[in-house]
Amino acid sequence: MKKILFICAIALFTACEKDELPKDYSAENDAEIQAYITANELEAKKSNSGLYYVIDEEGTGEAPKSTDRVKVIYKGYFTDGRTFDESEDGISINLSQVIRGWTEGMTYFKEGDKGKLLIPAHLAYGSSNHNKIPGGSVLIFDVELVYVNYATENDLEIQDYLAENEITAEKTESGLYYVIDEPGTGAQATEKDNVTVTYKGYFTNDKVFNESTKEVNFDLGNLIKGFTEGVAKLKENGKATLFIPAHLAYGNLGQGTIPPGAVVIFDVTLIKVN
Query: Amino acid identity of 1?
Result: M
Residue 150, pLDDT score? 84
The pLDDT score that the predictor gives to residue 260 is 84
Pair 114, 53: CB distance under 8 Å: no
In degrees to the nearest 10, what's the CA dihedral of 34, 36, 41, 45?
-40
CB 271 within 8 A of CB 198: yes
- Collapse the DSSP code of 211 into the 3-class scheme (helix H, G, I; strand E, B; otherwise coil) and give the result: strand
pLDDT value, residue 6? 45
102-112 pLDDT, tens per residue?
Answer: 999 999 999 99
- Determine the pLDDT at residue 15: 40
Is residue 118 within 8 A of residue 32, CB to CB? The reply is no
Angstrom CA distances, 17 to 13, 211, 227, stand at 8, 47, 48
Question: What three-state secondary structure class fits 264?
Answer: strand
- Residue 156: other Cβ atoms inside 10 A: 11
What is the pLDDT at residue 5?
A: 56
pLDDT digits (tens, 9 = 90+) for 8-49: 443 333 343 444 578 999 999 999 999 999 999 999 999 999
Distances (CA, A) of 148 to 27, 91, 95: 33, 12, 10
Structural domains in the chain, sorted by start: 2-148 (3.10.50.40), 151-273 (3.10.50.40)
pLDDT of residue 16: 39
> How far apart, in Å, are the Cα atoms of 235 and each of 68, 117, 229, 232?
37, 53, 13, 8
Alpha carbons within 13 A on the beta-carbon side of 271: 13
- What pLDDT sits at residue 152? 84
The whole-number pLDDT of residue 60 equals 87
Write out pLDDT tens, residues 215-229: 999 999 999 999 999
What proportion of the chain, given as a percentage, has pLDDT over 90?
80
Ranges of residues in the chain whose predicted pLDDT is under 70: 1-20
Burial class (CB in 10 A: 0-12, 13-18, 19+), 1: middle
